[in-house]
């Protein structure tokens, strides 16, 4: 998922999608441990997507704190 897409999502959608992505990553890791994935790069991309979401949530949190002061 691109950063532009993450920025366009609402905070609630972002949090819901983050939960889904974490579950998906867990499933990928388990499947890869049992039998190697055809493309293990999918795990790396999933981690990057989760990091992008967490970064955007933190940015919004800091921006909200800044506006409340």
What does the pLDDT read at residue 41?
Answer: 96
Intra-chain end-to-end CA distance of the chain, in Å = 33
Biggest distance spanned by C-alpha atoms of the chain: 52
What does the pLDDT read at residue 3?
Answer: 87
What does the pLDDT read at residue 1?
Answer: 80
Integer angstrom CA distances of residue 22 from 35, 41, 54, 62, 66 = 20, 16, 11, 23, 29
Query: Is residue 6 within 8 Å of 56, Cβ to Cβ?
Result: yes
- Per the structure block, which two tokens stand in for 48? 């990057």
Per-residue pLDDT of the chain (69 residues; tens, 9 = 90+): 888 888 899 999 999 999 999 999 999 999 999 999 999 999 999 999 999 999 999 999 999 999 987
Single pTM value for the model: 0.90
Query: How many residues would you count in the chain?
Result: 69
Query: Number of structural domains, the chain?
Result: 1
What does the pLDDT read at residue 69?
Answer: 78
Residue 13 lies in domain: 3-68
């Amino acid at each position: 998922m691109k950063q532009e897409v993450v920025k366009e999502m609402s905070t609630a959608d972002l949090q819901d999608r983050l939960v889904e992505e974490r579950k998906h990553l867990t499933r990928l890791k388990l499947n890869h441990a049992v039998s190697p994935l055809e493309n293990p790069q999918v795990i790396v991309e999933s981690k990057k997507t989760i990091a992008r979401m967490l970064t955007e949530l933190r940015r919004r949190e800091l921006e909200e704190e800044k506006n409340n002061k």
